[in-house]
Amino acid sequence: MQRSFPTRDVLRRPRLRWVDLLVGGALFVVLYAVLRLGLTVTHPFVPSQSRASISTSPSALPYYALRSLSRMFIALGLSVAFTFVYGTAAARSRRAEKVMIPLLDILQSVPILGFLTITVTFFLALFPHSILGLECASIFAIFTSQAWNMTFSFYHSLMTQPRDLDEAARLLRLTKWERFWRLDVPGSMIGLVWNGMMSFGGGWFFLTASEAITVNKRSYALPGIGSYVAAASARSQLGYVLLAIVVMIVMVLAVNFVFWRPMVAWSERFRIEQSEATEQPKSIVLDALRRSRVPGLVAKPFRPVGALLDRATRPFGVADRPLVQNVARRRAGDAAFGLIVAIVVALGSTSALRYIGTEVGLGEFAHAAWLGAITLARVTIVVILSTLIWVPVGVKIGMSPRLARYAQPIVQILASFPANFLFPFFAAFLVATGLSLNWGGIVLMMLGAQWYILFNAIAGAISVPSDLREAMDNFDVRGRQRWRRLNLPGIFPAYVTGGITAAGGAWNASIVAELVTYGHHVLIAKGLGAYIALSTASGQFAKTLTGIVVMSIYVVGINRLVWRRLYRIAETRYSL
């Protein structure tokens, strides 16, 4: 499979416009509103949710693993539902699209773990006396790591639907419902499954990070494999951490084998190009299912339901659009819509800034920006080191079809494996050697981020046509010249995709990598990640808000200034 992650269409975006600033401001306001809402409710007290309640007995592990797994799938279900609703709305309504797509773009780039603290406060306030609040917060964290890529992929498929299929659907007078299930969803299935699978892998990291969390001087823990590791780490039980790692690996492999491989193989039937793909993905599980009668038996009772839904949705009308539109009225509507959004954002931002101003002073932004620069330096080192190490390896693997066939699934698993499971070992090492987390943090951030570069380097190398390689062999182009003329240009588009994702991953990881506890030791690195984590733990929410806003500005800004430019060059100059 020669696909990058995320698929390249997920990152295809117009340049920065004023609306992006507006949407960024809107996000700021929403965060602030949610935070204030969470703070209005008296602090919840649920003793069973404390970290002490988590057992590190190995016998508890299977149950914890299943709890974690169920969270992952609930989040996936929510992501799919969100994708369908949001993607359809953005693709079908011109006005909604103007706001929804920039919003999604920013949501995709900002560090999700930063939001976690805010959403935890919010959900705890929503369900003050039950475990539901924490469950919701955890599921929401996983959801935010999965949904954006899938939504972009779906939206992009809808926007690039072949014109003749769209016309055929309209002339056949399909209802909105029929069109959605017969054309829109099947047509975007391949991208959806692929991005879903890869995002699901990334979700393990957020699951682990969100199960055990400290907010406002209180530690909370949900029964799950992530809090098991946290508890084992807090009690310095490295053996149990190792055990959890083994269980995690088994779980990732099992989910891949019984769910994602079959899904990927099944989605091949939705390929729009009439020709067959060169290498068909295969799945033993899918073959077994296809041969058995079980799917037919399961589907049977649902058929009348489908027919019923088809009839029930008929009143929504035919999936056609009016040919003539009143331009003047449309423009007036656009202007009114834009004005209202702008006013709400302006009022909200002022109020949020005033809150920060009175709580900690606006000078805090400068402080956070300085810390952000330090974390930026770490992220940059992570990307450069990963590139130097993994690009040559990835090219080697990708240029050999035999190697690639085995290596790419393995790298995919490595990328899914939550790096925070390994943190206790490094923390123990740092404590033992007395090395500073200021440097050690780089290693921790790299643990997760590096795989995206390797994975996409392989994908890029596979996509280089074999006749180009043969021609280079024939003309005896090797060594430095070969790298400059073939290898680097060939993998460049996929590398850019990997670089954006790796950098995003590193920013996210900084929130858990710059503040690490092991046993009674607390290791802190100087940086924006530690700033956010510390202010959250001590309940200084104005600082948390400041930190998140500054980090978001860093990530979005660098994406725009550096990565998008590289991306555009890759699209125009180096696409094969």
Partner 1 sequence: MTLTTGTTAILAADHITKSFSTPEGGTLSVLDDISFELRDGEIVALLGKSGSGKSTLLRCLAGLIAPTSGRALYRDRPVTAANPGVSMVFQTFALLPWLTVRQNVELGLEARNVPPAERRDRAERAIDLIGLDGFESAYPKELSGGMRQRVGFARALVVEPDALFMDEPFSALDVLTAENLRTELLALWGRPDFPTRAMLIVTHNIEEAVLLADRILVLSSNPGRIRAELTNDLARPRDRREPRFEALVDEIYGIMTGREEPSKPAAAPAAAAPARPSPIELPLPAATVGGMAGLLEIVLARGGREDLPALAHDLVFEVDDLLPLVDGAALLGFATVDHADLEISDDGREFVVADILTSKELFARKAAEHAPLVRAITNALAASMDGQLPEAFFLDILRRGFTDDEARHQLDIAIDWGRYGELYEYDANTGQLRREV
- Least distance (Å) from partner 1 to the CB of residue 313? 12
Scanning 175-183, 192-200, 286-294, 445-453 for contacts with partner 1 by CB under 8 A, the matching segment is 175-183
Does 174 participate in binding partner 1 (rule CB under 8 A)? yes
Sorted by sequence, the CB contacts under 8 Å of residue 498 that are 6+ apart come out as 4, 5, 452, 453, 454, 455, 456, 457
Contact letters for partner 1, residues 289-328 (x by CB under 8 A): ------------------x--xx--x---x-xxxxx----
Backbone angles phi, psi at 60, to 5 degrees: -80, -15
What is the distance between the alpha carbons of residues 489 and 572, in angstroms, rounded to a whole number? 12
- Least distance (Å) from partner 1 to the CB of residue 185? 10
Sorted by sequence, the CB contacts under 8 Å of residue 200 that are 6+ apart come out as 72, 76, 146, 255, 260, 416
Does 278 participate in binding partner 1 (rule CB under 8 A)? no
Does 338 participate in binding partner 1 (rule CB under 8 A)? no
Scanning 77-85, 177-185, 240-248, 253-261 for contacts with partner 1 by CB under 8 A, the matching segment is 177-185
Does 178 participate in binding partner 1 (rule CB under 8 A)? yes
Scanning 22-30, 96-104, 174-182, 471-479 for contacts with partner 1 by CB under 8 A, the matching segment is 174-182
Residue of 509, 518, 407, 68 whose CA lies nearest to 248: 68
- Least distance (Å) from partner 1 to the CB of residue 303? 10
Does 467 participate in binding partner 1 (rule CB under 8 A)? no
- Least distance (Å) from partner 1 to the CB of residue 177? 10
- Least distance (Å) from partner 1 to the CB of residue 301? 17
Does 94 participate in binding partner 1 (rule CB under 8 A)? no
Strands 218-221, 515-518: pairing is unpaired
Does 270 participate in binding partner 1 (rule CB under 8 A)? yes
**Cα atoms found within 13 Å of the Cα of residue 459, Cβ hemisphere only:** 24
What is the distance between the alpha carbons of residues 22 and 464, in angstroms, rounded to a whole number? 41
Cα 493 from chain centre: 20
| Burial tier of 3 (Cβ tally within 10 Å: 0-12, 13-18, 19+) | buried
- The residue from 253, 272, 336, 410 that contacts partner 1 (CB under 8 A) is 272
Does 432 participate in binding partner 1 (rule CB under 8 A)? no
Does 359 participate in binding partner 1 (rule CB under 8 A)? no
Contact letters for partner 1, residues 183-222 (x by CB under 8 A): x--x------------------------------------
254 or 272: whose CB is closer to partner 1? 272
307 or 362: whose CB is closer to partner 1? 307
Sorted by sequence, the CB contacts under 8 Å of residue 346 that are 6+ apart come out as 25
Sorted by sequence, the CB contacts under 8 Å of residue 532 that are 6+ apart come out as 114, 117, 511, 544, 547, 548, 551
- Least distance (Å) from partner 1 to the CB of residue 573? 8
| DSSP per residue, 144-188 | HHHHHHHHHHHHHHHHT--HHHHHHHHHTT-BHHHHIIIIIHHHH
- Least distance (Å) from partner 1 to the CB of residue 82? 24
Residue with tokens 């705890």: 124
What is the distance between the alpha carbons of residues 466 and 229, in angstroms, rounded to a whole number? 45
Cβ atoms within 10 A of the Cβ of 178, count?
Answer: 17
Does 279 participate in binding partner 1 (rule CB under 8 A)? no
Q: Which two tokens stand for residue 561?
A: 């200034």
**Number of shown-chain residues binding partner 1 (CB under 8 A):** 32
287 or 473: whose CB is closer to partner 1? 287
Q: Which two tokens stand for residue 138?
A: 């955890």
- Least distance (Å) from partner 1 to the CB of residue 316? 13
Does 97 participate in binding partner 1 (rule CB under 8 A)? no
Does 485 participate in binding partner 1 (rule CB under 8 A)? no
- Least distance (Å) from partner 1 to the CB of residue 329? 16
What is the distance between the alpha carbons of residues 10 and 3, in angstroms, rounded to a whole number? 12
- Least distance (Å) from partner 1 to the CB of residue 265? 14
Cis check: omega of the bond before 295, within 30 degrees of 0: no
Residues in 129-168 at the binding interface with partner 1, rule: CB under 8 A: 162, 164-165, 167-168
- Least distance (Å) from partner 1 to the CB of residue 435? 47
Cβ atoms within 10 A of the Cβ of 113, count?
Answer: 27
196 or 202: whose CB is closer to partner 1? 196
Residue with tokens 């047509």: 187
97 or 320: whose CB is closer to partner 1? 320
Does 489 participate in binding partner 1 (rule CB under 8 A)? no
47 or 315: whose CB is closer to partner 1? 315
Residue of 88, 98, 102, 74 whose CA lies nearest to 151: 88
Residues that bind partner 1 (CB under 8 A): 162, 164-165, 167-168, 170-175, 178, 182-183, 186, 269-272, 274-276, 307, 310-311, 314, 318, 320-324
